[in-house]
Amino acid sequence: MLGWLIAKPLRHVTSLAELTDSETSALGPLLRRIAGALDQVLRPVKVYSVLFAEAEGFAHIHFHLIPRATNLPAELRGPAVFQLMAKAHAEGNLADPLEAARVVARIREVMG
């Protein structure tokens, strides 16, 4: 899915409780800015913000910010959206790199 982004702290932490007060204060506004940029660039129905931090090799906090398109089938909404990522990797059906670069450039522009 174009625009599926990951935001994470600059340092390795495994839970939200490990964040400093400064990091915690910056997190909400950052996630809001990213979601706003995704809204402006891609016009999704909504932007999911997801944190699990348990997958093998990924036991650190990182937020998936996922723009949910209007045509996403109901069975792939909510947590099931991760099936889309698994399917794309399994089938080699990833986003067009040029289109992804264009979307990222627009998001960066919007975020300033």
Q: Which strands sit side by side in the sheet containing 46-50, from one edge to the other?
A: 5-7, 63-68, 46-50
Q: In which domain, by residue range, is 35 found?
A: 5-111
Residue 104 has a CB neighbour count (10 Å cut-off) of 14
Total domain count, the chain: 1
Q: DSSP letter at 96?
A: P
User: Which has the higher per-residue pLDDT, 35 or 92?
Assistant: 35
* pLDDT tens-digit series, residues 44-87: 999 999 998 887 877 889 999 999 999 999 999 999 999 988 88
Please report where in the chains the tokens 């289109």 appear, as a residue: 99
The model's confidence at residue 18, banded by pLDDT at 50, 70 and 90, is: very high
Q: What does the pLDDT read at residue 58?
A: 76
CATH number assigned to the domain comprising residue 64: 3.30.428.10
Q: How far apart are CA 69 and CA 45, in angstroms?
A: 6
